[in-house]
Structure 1
Amino acid sequence: MRGHSRMKTPSGHGAAPDGTGAADEAAARTLLRSAARHSRSRCVALCLTTAAASGASLLLPAALGRALDLLLTRPGDAAGTHWVLWCTGLVLLIALLDACHTVLAGTTDARATAWLRQRLVGHVLAVGPRAGERFGPGELVARLVGNAAQAGTAPATAATLLAALAGPVGAVVALGLIDPLLAAVFLGGAPVLTLLLRAFARDSSQCVARYQDVQGRIAGALAEAIGGARTIAAGGTADKEVARILRPLPELSREGRRMWRVQGRAAAQAVAVAPLLQLGVVAVGGVLLVHHRLSVGELLAASRYAVLATGVGVLVGQLSGLIRARAAARRLGEVLTEPAPVYGTRQLPPGEGRLELRSVTVRRGGRTVLDGVDLVVPAGRTVAVVGRSGSGKSLLAALAGRLADPDDGHVLLDGVPLRDLDRTALRRAVGHAFERPALLGDTIEDTIAFGIPSPPPDRVRQAAATARADSFVRRLPDGYATPCAEAPLSGGECQRLGLARAFAHDSRLLVLDDALSSLDTVTERHITEALLRHTPGSSRLIIAHRVSTAARADAVVWLAAGRVRAVGTHAELWRSAAYREVFGSSGTERNGGAG
């Protein structure tokens, strides 16, 4: 997690310290190589198809030249007709190979894109909340959807480009076979074309990278606005939000125009140089024709080979696609360099969920959020964590289930460091309920059973009853079989489903991160009492904002500015005016029912 303390840049991703850019580039190259290996057979077929098309294109000028010579020198001879038929066959073969190339390129792109998305989504989910914190949801979606599609074209483009080189190279060889002087004339100007391609690759890479970066920023702002749509509507600020989201559009337009200018300049320069080379070859060929060193058909073939040899337009298009794919792959590589947690192999010994934090320190964005926290949640007991906003309560809850790792210190469950635990063992042992639970699964029953392992239906219904959710679930059109997308649920009902999901699994530690905030006072009291009564043999860590929740806990941990200010019962801490201020109390009201 130390790498996670990088500051966010306006583009939404971490400002890379020394060496990180090289790591991103290395990850991009590895990713593209893996995508190419995944589509190896199709890439080989594509390369062979393109090479065959190039070969047929190289044979066609020679066949045309031979047919012309025979028609001119031996009119009416069947040999000339045969060569015309050969030319027709080559044209049809080239058309067929082009069609095969289109199909193979499309399927290769789709296959590579699907593999990249699966690879990236798996890594993002393995990294967990850190990925969203570093890049932002909109930026991640832009990379996993748009950039993955662009990077997915790399294997097919590289295979096509490699085979397409056979065309110009073969054409130069063919010129040399017709007459070495023709090849010498062309090669005299070839270095100019090479320099043009190198300059294009360099300038285009920078433009494409900036263009994709601005696209990511727009996507991130759009995702934020969608998440806050109700706030925007209530505030009547839709026009301002549209302006904020689209603020980078002029920059996007500038980078887009610059990108196309670079490509247009390269194409224009190539168009300016290529005809001169072609004219040079044709002029020398004309001189050789006058001196009877070439036939008319050979001159025709030489002129066609000069066109093939200067096929820079095709190469510029392929190279441009490869550059865009590599720039997109580098953005995917930035995601892959975010390290996923490494799990151990240890299993938990018998226990009732004793949680211990030893000198735990966590930093975010260069700021220490938790500073040397020592905390013990005794086995089978309930501990509430209270504190003002920003004191580190939710981060402490994340540490308890290893949804985050400390920069320093250790977190132990029943004496075993969480880093050493097997992943499945850890997820079985720790249950979570959140302020805004995600309703994952096709139906209401699926979302309550979500987790490892999936509990049986009777356990799901028992957990829903404990969370006071059974009654409103049964009123839904199809009860527990109601699709989540079709269930009109309030915030409190969603929270109760999240609590039911936590109760449905036999966890030895339950972590409730403000999971009671949307409940009315009566429901909150019933659920808290049921939680204490129906979860024997497990510990409970509750992030609390209400006096009543803290009052029912066995002990209260008071956090202030990332440190443990005091630990005790709610009644003991209530004597402190500063503690009462955490709940917005002046001290004249009753002690939350604790006496």
Structure 2
Amino acid sequence: MPAPTGGRLLAATARRVRPRLVLLTATLAVNSGTGVAIPVLLAACGDAVLRGEALRGPVTALVAVLVAGALAEAAALRLSVSTAAVGTAWLRMSSVRRLLALGPGSPYSVGESVTHVVQSAPQAASLPGEAAEAAVSALGSLAALVALWVVDWRAGLAFTVLSPLTAVVARRFIADAGEAEARYLDARTRMATLLVTALSGARTIRAAGTLCAETERVVTPLGELSAAGHAIWRTQRQVVWKIGVLVALTHIAVLTTAGLDVASGRISPGELLAVTGYLALATRLLDQIDIALNLAYSRAGASRLSAILDEPVIEGGPRRSPPPDGAVSLRDVTVHRSGERVLDRLDLEIPHGVSVALVGATGSGKSLLAALLGRLAEPDEGEIRVGGVPVSELELGTLRQTVSYAFERPVLAGRTLREAILFGRPELPGSAAEDAARAAQADPFVRRMPGGYDTPVRLAPMSGGQLQRIGIARALARPALVYVLDDATSGLDSVTETQIGDAVTGRLGDRTRLVVTHRATTAARCDLVAWLHAGRIRALAPHADLCDDPDYAAVFARTAAVADVPGTGASPAPADVPTAPSDEEQRCPADC
């Protein structure tokens, strides 16, 4: 079931918790009903005492109502907590699914995503219960007002005349509090984003000696956070005393009126007691600061969460059968990023079983082009086909089995290294992980781990090159028609890269391979080179045929001096992504 979006979010949450919400509303109604019954029963007891009548009946009824109210209140508290918990779990799961479905194209940073899931979800989930409580409380207060009119219509009139002033103040408070809460959440989200970014580069910050500067940068939103928080408290302070004064004046007017009616004999002393009780209940309709504030917070959380669930995600097509082969075709493909045309009516044809190196200058869009094959990015125009089948027609599960990726910065998911290699394909035998690791030259260092392939990922420290080899093993373990190696060997020395290249060629010789690379040696080992320039394929030919072109040679000039030194393990900063100086910083969520 797709996640609901926009205005349907709260209705969908209410449907999700409907059984609990119905029971919660029922228990709240019982509790409110007992509250309305108590004043009249107290009046009956008081009048019975004054008249010398028997008390058994009124007292028995009063005790029964008090017990029922206590039980209903206890049940309502339990149901309120469980309703919010179930709604929070569902909203968090829906948000996580949507954030993961957005993939590398997500407009939300890690800090924003975490804040939404951790904070906005419980705020939004509490809204159905808060709304039920507010509605039942309002109905109970209206019932008390009606009873007040019945007992003493003059006192009821006094309350009705004065109450609109309090209602106007309370409504203004709800609007101001909601706006301030939205600003508060925005500032906190920005601070969380800055903190996550700083923590991911903690080693670089220490090495550069920029701790103070980074600290100042992280706490930059603190001023706005403080201002929003003070605005919330200022609004509460200004409104609470106004409402307090208005409520007190209303009480004085109503009780004065009722007292005069008792003195004139229009109502009995017991009915005066009932007026006092109904006045307190009717006043709840006006003096609901806590409920109003919670509703404002819940609406703010729901609004922010709806923005996530409104983000469009890539939907799979209807076709579940894989394409007949791995021939790749890109026709008139155009992609814009940040208002600029990165790929411009690009055409590329790759026959089945051919290995193609994709090369180009920094920012030429190599990784973006590679992402199009598996729909990790979508073209603005044009069509991508695999085996003659448009990738947009393939069901996403089928597409993932058709195109397999290895990234420069793989993220290892799974409890153990074996699970990390077989991630997404749990039906494969454990031996498949070892076989793929051997091909990726990862088997030796994995076996040196404390638990070998069963070593927990969190207890398996690895260098950037070792991490890349695990990523390559994960790609090789997935039977596919097309394999995309997106700078997946940039952290390896030339000897290891050659060994992996030979193993990959032997293992995938009959499969289509697209290799994004900055190394001339890697391009030379591929059957063809697709030279990307100015948003188009400038040439598609063997590396040897292009070497005489000085423009082509210039593509590798900046990196060749470092990347081709055997045994150094050094590699240049990748051209299509920001420089990341540490292994931890190189773990990118694009491979989730």
* TM-score of the pair, normalised by structure 2: 0.91
Match of 2:420?
447
Question: After alignment, is 425-434 or 239-248 more displaced?
Answer: 239-248
Distance of aligned partners of 1:120 and 1:355 in 2 relative to their CA distance in 1, 3 Å threshold: same
> What secondary structure is seen at the aligned counterpart in 1 of 2:313?
coil
Q: Does residue 307 of structure 2 align to residue 334 of structure 1?
A: yes
Assess if the C-alpha contact under 8 Å between 1:67 and 1:81 holds in 2: no
Match of 2:379?
406
Identity %: 40
- Tell me which amino acid in the other structure corresponds to 1:130: G
Q: Does residue 30 of structure 2 align to residue 52 of structure 1?
A: yes
Number of residue-to-residue matches in the alignment: 564
Match of 1:130?
105
Distance 2:313 2:397 in 1: 16
Runs of 4+ aligned structure 1 residues displaced above 6 Å come to: 586-593
Provide, for residues 360-412 of structure 1, a one-character-per-residue CA deviation record: whole Å limited to 9, x for no partner. Answer: 11112222222221112221011111122211111111112111110011111
Distance 2:565 2:343 in 1: 28
> What secondary structure is seen at the aligned counterpart in 2 of 1:559?
strand
Task: Within 5 Å, give how 1:138-153 maps onto structure 2.
Answer: 138-153=111-126
Distance 1:589 1:72 in 2: 102
Match of 2:589?
none
- Tell me which amino acid in the other structure corresponds to 2:552: Y
**Runs of 5+ unmatched residues, structure 2:** 567-592
- Tell me which amino acid in the other structure corresponds to 1:80: L
Q: Give the Å deviation of 1:80.
A: 3.2
Distance 1:500 1:214 in 2: 42
Task: Within 5 Å, give how 1:408-487 maps onto structure 2.
Answer: 408-452=381-425, 454-487=427-460
Assess if the C-alpha contact under 8 Å between 1:577 and 1:586 holds in 2: no
Provide, for residues 122-176 of structure 1, a one-character-per-residue CA deviation record: whole Å limited to 9, x for no partner. Answer: 2222222222xx1111101111111111111111111111111122101111111
Assess if the C-alpha contact under 8 Å between 2:151 and 2:275 holds in 1: yes
Assess if the C-alpha contact under 8 Å between 2:402 and 2:480 holds in 1: yes
Provide, for residues 573-595 of structure 1, a one-character-per-residue CA deviation record: whole Å limited to 9, x for no partner. Answer: 221222222212699999999xx
- Tell me which amino acid in the other structure corresponds to 2:13: A
Distance 1:349 1:67 in 2: 81
Distance of aligned partners of 1:389 and 1:87 in 2 relative to their CA distance in 1, 3 Å threshold: same
> What secondary structure is seen at the aligned counterpart in 2 of 1:403?
coil
Assess if the C-alpha contact under 8 Å between 2:191 and 2:218 holds in 1: yes
> What secondary structure is seen at the aligned counterpart in 2 of 1:358?
strand
Provide, for residues 17-69 of structure 1, a one-character-per-residue CA deviation record: whole Å limited to 9, x for no partner. Answer: xxxxxxx9x93431111111111111111111111111111122222222222
Question: After alignment, is 289-298 or 62-71 more displaced?
Answer: 62-71
Distance 1:589 1:197 in 2: 69
Q: Does residue 234 of structure 2 align to residue 261 of structure 1?
A: yes
Q: Does residue 463 of structure 2 align to residue 490 of structure 1?
A: yes
Match of 1:310?
283
Question: After alignment, is 568-577 or 524-533 more displaced?
Answer: 568-577
**Runs of 5+ unmatched residues, structure 1:** 1-23
Coordinate RMSD, CA, aligned: 2.3
- Tell me which amino acid in the other structure corresponds to 2:124: A
Match of 2:587?
none
Task: Within 5 Å, give how 1:128-527 maps onto structure 2.
Answer: 128-131=103-106, 134-312=107-285, 315-347=288-320, 351-452=324-425, 454-527=427-500
Q: Give the Å deviation of 1:319.
A: 2.2
Assess if the C-alpha contact under 8 Å between 1:392 and 1:561 holds in 2: no
> What secondary structure is seen at the aligned counterpart in 1 of 2:253?
helix
* Residue of structure 2 aligned with 1:548, choices 495, 500, 521: 521
Distance of aligned partners of 1:482 and 1:113 in 2 relative to their CA distance in 1, 3 Å threshold: same
- Tell me which amino acid in the other structure corresponds to 2:85: A
Distance of aligned partners of 1:586 and 1:416 in 2 relative to their CA distance in 1, 3 Å threshold: closer
Match of 1:36?
14
Match of 2:79?
104
> What secondary structure is seen at the aligned counterpart in 2 of 1:548?
helix
* TM-score of the pair, normalised by structure 1: 0.90
Q: Give the Å deviation of 1:181.
A: 1.8
- Tell me which amino acid in the other structure corresponds to 2:532: L
Question: After alignment, is 539-548 or 321-330 more displaced?
Answer: 321-330
